[in-house]
Amino acid sequence: MVIENKPVGGNNFVLILKPVEKLPLMLPGQFCEVKVNKVPEVYLRRPFSIHNVDYDANTLSLLIKAVGKGTTTLSGLSEGEIVNIVYPLGNGFSLTKEPNVLLVGGGCGVAPLLFLAHTFKKMGIKPVVLVGGKTAEDVPQLEAYKAVAETHVATEDGSLGEKGLVTQHQIFKTRLSEFKRIYTCGPEGMMKAVAKAAEAIEIPCEVSLENTMACGIGACLCCVTETTEGHKCVCTDGPVFDSRDLNGWNIDKASECSQPYLKSE
Ligand SMILES: Cc1cc2nc3c(=O)[nH]c(=O)nc-3n(C[C@H](O)[C@H](O)[C@H](O)COP(=O)(O)OP(=O)(O)OC[C@H]3O[C@@H](n4cnc5c(N)ncnc54)[C@H](O)[C@@H]3O)c2cc1C
Ligand code: FES
C-alpha cells in the first residue's frame, strides 16, 4: 500500500510502500518489479532499485524519475492505493568492513546508494557519497544522503556543488586513493568513467547496471550483458557487477570514457 508519494524535485518522486506481510531481509543494490495498474499498454512490470528500507516501520521506499508512461503513471499514485510489486530481486552490492568507501551516483541512479549508505552507517562506517547531475534538479534526496554520509555534489552547469562531471570533482582529483572500494550507479558513461579511474589505481569498483528488463527473473534473456565469463542476465546475475568482470569496461577498452584527470600530462 502507498503510504506516501512525495515529489523531490525535477521529475523525481519518492514512493513509500508498506506491504501487508513483514518485509523480507533485503540487500542494498537489490531491486523490485512494479506492476503499473490502470494502463493496459504498460503490461511489463518496471524495475526500480530499493531506495531505502525501514524495518521498524515495515516500509520500503523507491526513488523514481518519471521518464515514460509507466513511471508517469506511478508518479500519480495516491496514499492508500495498492501497488503490486515483486521483491527483492537480483544481487546486491558486496559489503566491506574497510572504513573508506566511496559511493558515486548520477541523477536518479543515486537511488540504491541511500540504502547502501544506511547499511554502512549501521556497520559503523561513514561512507563518502558523491552525486552528479546535469543541474541541481537532477540531484534528488540530497538531505537524506547528508544525514548518513559525507556528501558532495557536482553539476554540469554548476548550479549545485562543484561545476563539472563527478569524475572531475576534487574527490577524484585529490582523494581517490584513500578509498578501498567504490560503488556506482547512474548513466553508463558515468559508471564507465568511474570504473576506469578506480581500475587505474586498482580500487575494486562495483557498478549497478540498468539494462532494459522484461521478466526480472531470468526467463526472457532480454537483459543480458557481456562479461568475461560470457553472457549474464543483469536481473539474476546482477544488477551489481564488479567492473573488471564486464567486457568493454576494463581500463584498456573504455577509451570512449576518457576523463581529463586520466589524460597523460
Ligand atoms: C535494475 C534496475 C533498477 C532501476 N532502478 C531505478 C530507480 O531506482 N529509479 C528510476 O527512476 N529508474 C530506475 N530504473 C529505470 C526504470 O526501470 C525505467 O526508467 C522505467 O522502466 C521506465 O519505464 P516507463 O514506462 O516510464 O518508460 P518507457 O515508456 O518504457 O520508456 C521511456 C524512456 O525511458 C527509457 N528507459 C526505459 N527503461 C529504461 C531503463 N531501464 N534505464 C534507462 N532508461 C530507460 C526508454 O529508453 C525511453 O527513452 C531501473 C532499471 C533497472 C533495470
Ligand atoms: S529481465 Fe528477463 S531475463 Fe532478465
- Nearest-angstrom CA–CA distance, 40 and 147: 40
Which of 5-19, 82-96, 186-200, 251-265 bottoms out in mean pLDDT, i.e. has the lowest? 251-265
Please tell me the distance between residue 201's alpha carbon and the centre of ligand 1 in angstroms: 32
Query: pLDDT confidence of 37, banded at 50, 70, 90?
Result: confident
- Nearest-angstrom CA–CA distance, 34 and 48: 8
Tens digits of per-residue pLDDT, 71-87?
Answer: 999 999 999 999 999 99
Please tell me the distance between residue 186's alpha carbon and the centre of ligand 1 in angstroms: 11
Is 257's pLDDT higher than 90?
no
pLDDT of residue 261: 28
Residue type present at position 52: N
pLDDT of residue 252: 54
How big is the chain by its Cα radius of gyration, in Å? 18
Tens digits of per-residue pLDDT, 88-146?
Answer: 999 999 998 888 999 999 998 999 999 999 999 999 999 999 999 999 999 999 999 99
Query: Is the shortest distance between the CB of 182 and ligand 2 below 6 Å?
Result: no
Query: pLDDT confidence of 251, banded at 50, 70, 90?
Result: low
Query: pLDDT confidence of 260, banded at 50, 70, 90?
Result: very low
Query: pLDDT confidence of 147, banded at 50, 70, 90?
Result: very high
Tell the residue nearest (CA) to atom 11 of ligand 1.
64
Ligand 1 atom closest to Cα of 239? Answer: 1
Whether residue 88 has a cis bond before it, omega within 30° of 0:
yes
For the residues of the chain, what is the DSSP string, one character each?
-EEEEEE-STTEEEEEE--SSPPPP--TT-EEEE--TT-TT--S-EEEE--EEETTTTEEEEEEE--SHHHHHHHT--TT----EEEEESB-PPP---S-EEEEEEGGGGHHHHHHHHHHHHTT---EEEEEESSGGG-TTHHHHHTTSEEEEEETTSSSSEES-GGGSHIIIIIGGG-SEEEEES-HHHHHHHHHHHHHTT--EEEE-----SSSSSSS-TTEEEETTEEEETTTT-BEEEGGGBTTTSTTT-GGG--GGGS--
Query: Is the shortest distance between the CB of 67 and ligand 1 below 6 Å?
Result: yes
pLDDT of residue 263: 29
Query: Is the shortest distance between the CB of 36 and ligand 2 below 6 Å?
Result: no
> Using CB atoms within 10 A of its CB, is residue 175 exposed (0-12), middle (13-18) or buried (19+)?
middle
Identify whether the C-beta of residue 18 lies closer than 8 Å to the C-beta of residue 80. no
Query: pLDDT confidence of 250, banded at 50, 70, 90?
Result: low
Please tell me the distance between residue 112's alpha carbon and the centre of ligand 2 in angstroms: 19
What average pLDDT does the segment 201-218 reach? 94
Please tell me the distance between residue 216's alpha carbon and the centre of ligand 1 in angstroms: 13
**Which one of the ligands is nearest to 221 CA?**
2
Report the share of the chain in percent with pLDDT over 70. 94
When the pLDDT of each residue in the chain is averaged and rounded to a whole number, the result is 92
- Nearest-angstrom CA–CA distance, 261 and 81: 48
**Which one of the ligands is nearest to 235 CA?**
2
Query: Is the shortest distance between the CB of 110 and ligand 1 below 6 Å?
Result: no
What average pLDDT does the segment 197-226 reach? 94
Tens digits of per-residue pLDDT, 160-175?
Answer: 999 999 999 999 999 9
Query: Is the shortest distance between the CB of 139 and ligand 2 below 6 Å?
Result: no
Nine-digit cell at 72? Answer: 508517469
